[in-house]
Amino acid sequence: MNIHNGVYEEIIYLVNTKHSVTFRGASRDQTIITYRNNENLNPGSSTRSLFNMRGDDVAMENLTLTNSTPDGGSQAEALRVDGRRFIFNHGTLASYQDTLLLNSFGRYSYFRDSLIQGDTDYIWNDGIGVFQDCEIRTMTPGYTCQMRSEPAPYKGAVFLDCVFTKAYNFNGHYLARINPASESLCSFVALINCRLDAHIHPAGWLLTGGGATDNLRFWEYQSTDLTGTNLVDVSDRAAFSTQLNAAKAAAMRNLTNVYAPNALWLPQLAPNIISQPTDLTVEPGGNATFSAEATGIETANPSIAGEPSIIVPLRYQWRQNGTNCPGATNVSLTISNVSSGDAGTYSVVVSNLSGVMVSREAVLAVNVPASPVIVSVACSNGAFSLTFDGDAESSYGIQASSNLVSWQTVFTTNVPPLPFSWTDSNAAAPHQFYRILLNP
């Protein structure tokens, strides 16, 4: 489902009979679904969310979901996930309290390259969520997670290479909290190689009530400051939290390991081109660069069981006039020393195991003047070679002279393609001079 740019004020409920749906916005910041829904307006976690997603194999990308309930306006989810195998990619989830509800045992989701913001328990409940390369932004001091997990391994929230930021200058915020006596005897949150701003409380983790802590799994591995170069001082972390070793941290990067035994699932999402190549006009001898931005997810199991899952980059193939350009397999295509022969249409094919998408055809126009432009000259073993560019609709004559007075036409061309190359194999003696003229 493609969604045009705009602000859509509505509450959305995707029923559990609607499966295998992808919601794609035209622009992450300009495709906005919003509504002021909350506990005071529609009591109950199943009715107070902006978007209640119950279908299986659903994906959302390149859009923003904002619950516009103000700070202190009660629990107000932007998204409630009830379905299995959910993907949220290159998007934004915004609210204050309870922004993202992951529900429930046996259901699992994957968040990539996205912003999630709130202040109080804004990632919570008893589902399984992996967050990779995401920004987790705190709006006011509070608590990021309240995961109510079951005792089995890895049920909860796993953050891989995420950055935890703040909206303004404050401190005393906790990564997670739980009350083992009343909310859940178990809770699981893991941060693996994440970058933390200075707003995180030195203890990191919080208990809000009594009870056993044996099944609490508040894990952390090599958290750094925002630069990614300096390890955070964890000497004052809560005693019931754990600093992982390298082997256990690597296990958190194996997606099959994290999601099992509920499902041997590896997230996959077909490519989507979100920034198209644009038309260019350049002068002969200049450079032309086409580029495109695309999203998509391809994950794969490692060759050795238990090692980190592989994030496979998108594949790119640039084409000129529908024909593959040899070696042009990067995100951008640069054409150096442009000539009239480079003019045409350029597009890129983006692919992964889940699908293929072709960009629009961008036009490269070369401002070739009617007057000839010398591209190169060379002399070797009595032969003189000349390459020149010009207007493909014009006719040009090459003339030779030994005295700069008497000129003789030695070649005429009015046939594309240009640039055109010509060689005089008898240029050694007598000395020769050459010029190119635009024929009338």
Residue 328 has a pLDDT of 98
For residue 200, the 8-state DSSP code is B
Residue 440 has a pLDDT of 63
- Is the distance from CB of 77 to CB of 98 less than 8 angstroms? yes
Residue 168 has a pLDDT of 96
pTM over 0.75: yes
224 burial type by CB count under 10 A (0-12 exposed, 13-18 middle, 19+ buried): middle
Please, what are the domains in the chain? 2-268 (2.160.20.10), 269-366 (2.60.40.10), 373-438 (2.60.40.10)
3-class DSSP state for residue 78? Answer: coil
Is the preceding peptide bond at 261 cis, omega within 30 degrees of 0? yes
> What tokens does 226 get?
């925002």
User: Which residue from 197, 218, 199 is spatially nearest to 207, judged by alpha carbons?
Assistant: 218
Residue 105 has a pLDDT of 59
Alpha-carbon span 23 to 51, nearest angstrom: 12
> What tokens does 158 get?
């796993």
Residue 194 has a pLDDT of 98
- Where does residue 382 fall: left (phi above 0), alpha (psi -120 to 50 degrees), or beta otherwise? left
- Is the distance from CB of 145 to CB of 120 less than 8 angstroms? no
3-class DSSP state for residue 251? Answer: helix
Alpha-carbon span 380 to 152, nearest angstrom: 78
Is the preceding peptide bond at 416 cis, omega within 30 degrees of 0? no
Alpha-carbon span 155 to 108, nearest angstrom: 9
Radius of gyration for the chain, computed over Cα atoms and rounded to the nearest angstrom: 31
- Is the distance from CB of 391 to CB of 372 less than 8 angstroms? no
For residue 97, the 8-state DSSP code is B
Provide the b/e sequence for 327-344 (b: ≥16 CB within 10 Å).
Answer: ebeeeebebeebbbebbb
3-class DSSP state for residue 249? Answer: helix
Number of neighbouring beta carbons within 10 Å of residue 26:
14
Alpha-carbon span 6 to 421, nearest angstrom: 54
Residue 418 has a pLDDT of 73
Residue 241 has a pLDDT of 97
Instruction: Give the angle subtended at the CA of 88 by the CAs of 290 and 28, to the nearest 5°.
Output: 45
C-alpha dist (Å) from residue 118 to 98, 155, 208? 7, 22, 19
Alpha-carbon span 238 to 143, nearest angstrom: 15
> What tokens does 106 get?
């046996």
Low-confidence ranges of the chain (pLDDT < 70): 104-106, 152-154, 261-263, 368-369, 393, 414-417, 428-431, 440
Output phi, psi for 239, to 5 deg: -65, -25
